[in-house]
Amino acid sequence: MPTKIQSITAQKIFNIRGEETIEIEVKTKNGFGRASAPSGASRGKGEVVPYPEGGVDQAMKRVKELVEPQLIGIDAQGQEKIDLMLHQIDGTQDFRKIGGNTSYAVSLATADAAASSMGRPLFTQLGGQLTSELPHPLGNVIGGGKHARGKAPDIQEFLVLPVKVNTFLDAAKANILIHQRVGAYLLKKDKTFTGGRGDEGAWAPNLKNEDALEIATKACEEVSDETGIKCKVGLDMAASSLWDPKKKCYIYPRDEVDRDSGEQLEFVLNIIQKYKLVYVEDPFHEEDFESFAELTKKAKKCLICGDDLFVTNKERFAYGIEKGVGNAIIIKGNQVGTLTDAWETTILGQKAEYVPVMSHRSGETTEAHIAHLAVAFRCPIIKAGVIEGARIAIINELVRIEKMLGERAKMATVPL
């Protein structure tokens, strides 16, 4: 059988922050797959445990001792079976024995090997021969919070999203133009700005939050007018990192403001209206389902997206759907440990008319698998940065996929 697994090996590599991570290689008779695990600067409490006690070194040992012996001889095309076996091998609810990053890398490398064995791209292997829609790129142009240092904005990401565009190539180009325009405005506003950037290649300026919003909005509007591509602004507030559970308020040190939950709701509603935001991610801390639901009711023509809130977890997400919490969800495979888990959460969202947003993490490696996952999972949006080595690898892979699809390629519809 050309897709039978012959070997699984683990090795240590580094992500863009220089942190250790695990890389898995899977060999079949006729193919080869490789995948690694990213890392997030802000992690939801509900995520699986990334590595067992002992870190990457211990995870590598457990691949050799526990994972490889069980998966040798299994058909790499049996993705659901393999992912179920990874759960059984680990035997815990949160992958603390082998590590969620380990299981995710094994799961993805196996899919990669199956695609290689059959001589087809990964997005076709996972999504089928009729898969043809490209996601809209959601890119970070100004970074603050945990993605920057010094006197950067409190809000973690100021994002841009082309919402009306004919090709992925044009969408990516528009995001790059906005990124460049923002940089030019930052130099005008602050003569001491040295062009510093955060983890994801976004500018990290000495600005307050609304000053950053003003610049991002102005650059976005100008590029929209110049190119004819309608682009809008969004935010990832990463509010769990602003929340002080003892004081019961959100602390904005750069703006020198503290806001309780009600004040946070009013603040978010105000900036959605003022700047015509189309996307707001994690505007409240990860346990505040009630405020999320209230914002979802009141915000018009804006995606209210849960990341730390849902952590790609079916149970948390199902609870959120029941309570009317948000209308979009971030999909990150290593938050739940396998491709099958991430796929099932995505399907759950699509059935409930939530928008799934395939997402990178701040501590990425240079692999571009999530480009294929976004297409295979039929995600209308991919959050993948704008300019930075690991982000450009993902963007360029989507450009290649678009070319590969040829006349069948079309941009997905973003319900805004």
Q: Token pair of 330, please?
A: 């971030």
Pairing, β 249-252 against β 257-259: antiparallel
| Displacement of CA 304 from its chain's centroid (Å) | 15
Residue 401, helix vs strand vs coil: helix
Q: Does residue 68 have an active-site annotation?
A: no
- 332 labelled catalytic: yes
Burial of 69 from C-beta contacts in 10 A (0-12 / 13-18 / 19+):
exposed
* Cα 58 from Cα 131, distance rounded (Å): 38
Of 230, 238, 215, 237, whose CA–CA distance to 161 is shortest? 230
Residues 6+ apart with CB under 8 A from 238: 42, 145, 146, 155, 156, 157, 281, 282, 308
Q: Which of 68, 157, 200, 402 is catalytic?
A: 200
Which listed residue (133, 332, 364, 388) is catalytic? 332
Q: In sequence order, what DSSP letters do the residues of 75-127 get, joined into one string?
A: BTT-HHHHHHHHHHHH-SSS-TTT-HHHHHHHHHHHHHHHHHHHTS-HHHHHH
Distance of alpha carbon 246 from its chain centroid, rounded? 30
Calpha distance 80→340 (Å, rounded): 6
CA distances to 15, 47, 85, 185, 328 from 315, in Å: 30, 12, 20, 44, 16
Catalytic positions, written as ranges: 200, 332
